[in-house]
Amino acid sequence: MKTAGIDIGSITAKAAVLEDGVILGTRVGFTGYNAGMAGRKVFEELTGELGLEASSIAWIVSTGYGRNSVEFAHKSMTEIICHGAGAHFLDPQVRTVVDVGGQDSKALILDESGKVTDFVMNDKCAAGTGRFLEVMARALEVNLDDFGEISLRSENPAKISSICTVFAESEVISLISRGEQRENIIAGIHDSVASRVYAMAQRLAVKAPIMMTGGVARNIGVVRALEKRFGSPIEVTGHAQVNGAIGAAVLACSLR
Amino acid sequence: MPQTGAEKKRKFRSAKRMREIMTEYYIEAKTADQTGKKVAWITSGGPVEPLIAMDVIPVYPENYGAMIGASHMGSDLCAKAEALGYSTDLCSYARADIACALEDGGPIGGLPKPDMLVCCNNICGTVMKWYEIQARLFDVPLFIFDTPFCHVDFAGEARRYVRTQIDEYIGFLEGVCGKKFDIDRSREVGRLSLKGQRLWQEVLDAAAHRPSPMTAFDAFFFLALIVTLRGTTKVVDFYTELLEEMKERVSQGISAVENERYRLLWDNLPVWYRLKWLSDTFAAHGACLVADTYTTAWCGSMKYIDENNFIDSMAEAYTRIYLNIGVDEMAKTIFEMIDKYEVDGLVMHSNRSCKPYSFGQYDIMRMVQEKKGIPCMMLESHMVDERSFSESQALTRIDAFMEVISQRGPRAGIAR
């Protein structure tokens, strides 16, 4: 049986198709202004790429902020449950998931069956999210995809003390004008995100192994900074960004 | 859309009577200058019985704050107070009330001007400065009833200290009203107050029934009378009727939420401008918020009241209210409620406006998870200022919380 998961985030839309416990394919597109259309588009592109008829997908679950705009989904579920299911599917040993997406960050605790037993989400603030990194990348005129590698070269990370994205941006600008090296500033930014996410996760009874998911997991600098905070290695799979969509497709299997 | 029979049944007939009483009450208060009655503004947790005994009309800026929130006037009034220089971090009841007092704005054309102010700090410290500001503005006397924080016990010195203030309070009232305090009348008021509180507790207790005949959202509505008019026969009569209606609902099997599957406990003040949205959102998951710590606070310290000696015993009852006790004591109250109402989860409203209520919530949450093993969620919001509410975030949190609860299934060990 084939199932699909559609994850409409604030910045990107993701799709995943599964067949009998195997990932057939995944795809990422931009959400843009029409979440419903973005969901259809990423789904059609993926099925097209896989040479599948849309009708061959038995069950579809949507998730993410735009979950209720995906009209062709059979059910919508929150990204909390989907990230939990995705992480458990990719590695059943995982007990804590840290998901950092475009506009929110969250941490969740899984039991041995992959059920979420507790979770926490960021407050109404962009600090510790992908949006924070985007703003900083723009201020530094660096491609966000290069952020991770650049920050690893830093020997002396700068200190970004403000937790407010807007104020942190002005801190970054003053660091730039003081001639601080770019890698140090970026490493400082990653520390700032990590400290915010770590503090939030500490409200839960965090258990290893920890997996990081969401688009920001692609940034090795943030992952390393978080590992330092947690004092434990953090697992990142190649599917980190589409983990929510994979989880949705996993959960879709139980709809039959 | 026409109402279905079941929806009609779910409506409370007492709601109409309640609105009538509140309207009469506000008309009486607004026309006090014509009838020669005195008006006192008083904090929500303040000792109101001596006012009733002196025939003074008590008016509650906090009740008014709730009204402001529910009528979606909060953000605007808060912004006006901010323009006057008050911080956005200040309590939104205080901000809205201060703005209203200066502008005669707000619902019902503003509150009637006070002849005196009675401020009891058993609910927070903000009220002291708030009432001082209003005392200066209206140029009226202010009585501050100072209740020391009760971490665990109500010790000897504290007891004497608070008891002394009751005499000072009575002296203050005699001075402002120009008449003697009638001790016999005060005994009667005390008796009615306790009776009202008992009835209110019984009304809330009805929610222990499965399915619950009421939700916390109903309690938020029906609360107004026990807050504003306790110590009067009106309150006793009204809650007698309401309790009757609860019993009828229970016997007829009328549930507040259609197909109640999950029962939840709410902590902190309501989000006044989102009552319906929250109620519908939870109900869509088959979840009924059966009880809350907030409305329970107006009958939570009855156990300290001596029916035959109200004036003396109210020192303890007013000091040991929910917001004036330590976190461990608050947690105990929550544990008891979890058991009593057999809830599947705890919803905590981290209310940016109310620090004493929100402080310690994460600790309490941890204790609840450890001791009671039920899922808990935190909803970051604000009781009156809508600018601090984010619908999509709130919805994701509630949906995810309900998914966690439904994965566990209804509370184990309880037959359905």
Domains of chain A, each with CATH number or no CATH: 1-91+239-256 (3.30.420.40), 95-236 (3.30.420.40)
Residues of B in contact with A81 (CB under 8 A): 400, 403-404, 407
CA neighbor of B236 nearest in space, from B271, B278, B190, B187: B190
Sequence-distant (≥ 6) Cβ neighbours of residue B207 within 8 angstroms: B213, B214, B215, B219, B290, B291, B341
Shortest alpha-carbon distance between residue A241 and chain B (Å): 19
Give the CA angle between residues B110, B115, B120 to the nearest 5°: 90
What are the backbone angles phi and psi of residue B195, rounded to the nearest 5°? -60, -45
pLDDT in tens, chain A (256 residues): 999 999 999 889 999 999 999 999 999 999 999 999 999 999 999 999 999 999 999 999 999 999 999 999 999 999 999 999 999 999 999 999 999 988 889 999 999 999 999 999 987 777 788 888 998 999 999 999 899 999 999 999 999 888 788 888 889 999 999 999 999 999 999 999 999 999 999 989 999 999 999 999 999 999 999 999 999 999 999 999 999 999 999 999 988 7
**With a CB-CB cutoff of 8 Å, which residues 333-372 of chain B face chain A?**
362, 369
Residues of B in contact with A121 (CB under 8 A): 393, 396-397, 400
Q: For residue B75, is pLDDT > 80? A: yes
Domain layout of chain B by residue ranges:
7-182, 215-225+255-408
Q: Do B396 and A80 touch (CB under 8 A)?
A: yes
Instruction: Using the CB atoms, write b or e for B196-206: b if 16+ within 10 Å.
Output: bbbbbbbbbbb
Residues of A in contact with B376 (CB under 8 A): 118
> What pLDDT does residue B103 have?
80
Q: For residue B97, is pLDDT > 70? A: yes
Residues of B in contact with A65 (CB under 8 A): 392, 396
CA neighbor of B383 nearest in space, from B283, B292, B250, B253: B292
Residue B2 confidence class, pLDDT cut points 50, 70, 90: low
What is the DSSP code (8-state) at residue A54?
A: G
Tokens matching residue B214: 């009421």
> Per-residue pLDDT tens for B232-273?
999 999 999 999 999 999 999 999 999 999 999 999 999 999
β A59-63/A2-8 pair status: parallel
> What pLDDT does residue B3 have?
60
Q: What is the mean pLDDT of residues B303-311?
A: 93
Residue B1 confidence class, pLDDT cut points 50, 70, 90: low
Sequence-distant (≥ 6) Cβ neighbours of residue B225 within 8 angstroms: B18, B21, B22, B196, B234, B235, B238, B239
Q: Are B281 and B395 in contact (CB under 8 A)?
A: yes
> Per-residue pLDDT tens for B339-392?
999 999 999 999 999 999 999 999 999 999 999 999 999 999 999 999 989 898
Tokens matching residue B211: 């399915």
What is the rounded average pLDDT for all residues in chain B? 94
Tokens matching residue A115: 């059920």
Q: For residue B55, is pLDDT > 60? A: yes
Helix (H, G, I), strand (E, B) or coil at B61: helix
Q: In chain B, which residue's Cα lies nearest the Cα of A121?
A: B397
Q: Are B310 and B194 in contact (CB under 8 A)?
A: yes
| Alpha carbon separation from B270 to B174, B278, B385, B399 (Å, rounded) | 36, 10, 12, 19
Residue B410 confidence class, pLDDT cut points 50, 70, 90: confident
Same fold, B7-182 and B215-225+255-408: yes
Contact of A235 with chain B, judged by CB distance below 8 Å, is answered with no
Residue B416 confidence class, pLDDT cut points 50, 70, 90: very low
Residue B5 confidence class, pLDDT cut points 50, 70, 90: low
Tokens matching residue A210: 């920890």
Q: Would you state the CATH architecture of domain B215-225+255-408?
A: 3-Layer(aba) Sandwich (3.40)
Q: For residue B415, is pLDDT > 60? A: no
Contact of A89 with chain B, judged by CB distance below 8 Å, is answered with no
Is the domain spanning B7-182 CATH 3.40.50.11890? The answer is yes
